[in-house]
Amino acid sequence: MRAVRFHGKEDIRLDEVEEPVCGIGQVKIRPAFIGICGSDIHEYLSGPSAVPVTPHPITGGTLPTVLGHEFSGTVEEIGEGVISLQVGDKVAVRPNLSDGSCPRCTMGRFNICNNLGFIGYSGDAGGMSDHVVVDKKHAIKLPNSIPLDTGALVEPLTVAWHAVSRSPLQVGDTALVVGAGPIGLAIVQVLKARGIQTIIVVEISEQRRKSAQLFGASHTLDPKEVDAVAKVQEIAGHLQGVSVSFETSGAQAGLDTALAGLRARGTMVIVSLWEEKPTINAFPDIVLGEKHVTGAAVFDDGDFEAVIEAIASGESGSLKSSIKPSFIVPHHFPLPQARFSHDQ
């Protein structure tokens, strides 16, 4: 079968590999739609960091690895012992892998397992292939109302869902999102679904600011044109800052804005991946303002199902915590045309 495999820095190939066999407790899926994550691009441009260069402790996999961790597909075979799924079912794949035995897993924090891995990074299973076999717990059934292209968006939306859940946000609070890439836009969608009315987005790209408005942002700011922090404080009114901010840009200037835009005792949630170590001026920003800083990684058990339910509510017209993922996807291409270049 065909598979898009990552061999190393700036080296991705469409290879012919052996078709996987469906074993006990597993399902075989024919992928339908696969998203390209920012982390995929980072691996390609900078070289392996999440992709193991030595055998992964959970999968035993190493380079080359089949890419694709944001994907949906159709079940085409079920293994012995699988009763929750049937051939023909539409599924979204929950890609995170945990060892179940490290200290974090014993705390129930499987999303931050010491040996965290991913389908689509840590072995020979990934969505950018003609067929993929996964354990049944990773194949989450989609209701008929959710099409497969939307199903491929469940994973990034779940990252956003978890990030918002990591904050103390309540209805009536104000929120700031710094960076309007896919995860930033997904956070805007989740904030809107959670009933947040004042959602401020800071983003340098005009197109992304337009997307943020489309997805529910009440205000969008270009930090090249305005003093973003001063404007955020003005919008927030007498509290002189928002209740919660989300840093998704991965840039020092973005982190500074997300922290400075908070009110006293506000919370900044850092979601972004970092290539360079950022700095925080702890005394005035954290100590004197008694601000909180927290991280959000991947998602908790149950989040995937909660997002699917929220999307289904949006499809049915329900107003309760619904998500309508009208993401702008500028390009679709079939597997034979899979390629990466610096221009895309």
180 and 130 in a single domain? The answer is no
In a shared domain, residues 135 and 223:
no
On whether both 97 and 190 belong to a single domain, the answer is no
Which of these, 55, 63, 62, lies nearest to 7 by C-alpha position?
Answer: 63
CATH number of the domain within which 284 lies: 3.40.50.720
| Domain end among 138, 153, 168 | 153
**Together in a domain, 149 and 6:** yes
* Residues 141 and 162 reside in one and the same domain: no
Cα separation values, 70 from 91, 129, 304, 325, Å: 12, 13, 12, 14
Structurally, the chain folds into a number of domains equal to 2
Task: Give residue 1's Cα distance to chain centre.
Answer: 28
Indicate whether 129 and 167 sit together in one domain: no
pLDDT per residue of the chain (344 residues) written in tens, 0 to 9: 999 999 999 999 999 999 999 999 999 999 999 998 888 888 988 889 889 999 999 999 999 999 999 999 999 999 999 999 999 999 999 999 999 999 999 999 999 999 999 999 998 899 999 999 999 999 999 999 999 999 999 999 999 999 999 999 999 999 999 999 999 999 999 999 899 999 999 999 999 999 999 999 999 999 999 999 999 999 998 878 999 999 999 999 999 999 999 999 999 999 998 888 999 988 888 999 999 999 999 999 999 999 999 888 865 444 345 576 655 555 566 665 555 443 43
- Answer yes or no: do 179 and 71 share one domain: no
Give the angle subtended at the CA of 21 by the CAs of 19 and 27, to the nearest 5°.
115
Whether residues 29 and 84 share a domain: the answer is yes
Residue 110 lies in a domain: yes
Q: Are residues 146 and 10 in the same domain?
A: yes
Q: Which domain holds residue 255?
A: 158-295
CATH number at residue 46: 3.90.180.10
Residue 56's identity, in one-letter code, is: H
- Say whether both 175 and 71 belong to one domain: no
Angle of CA points 7, 70, 83, to nearest 5° = 115
Sheet holding 11-16, edge to edge: 11-16, 2-8, 65-66
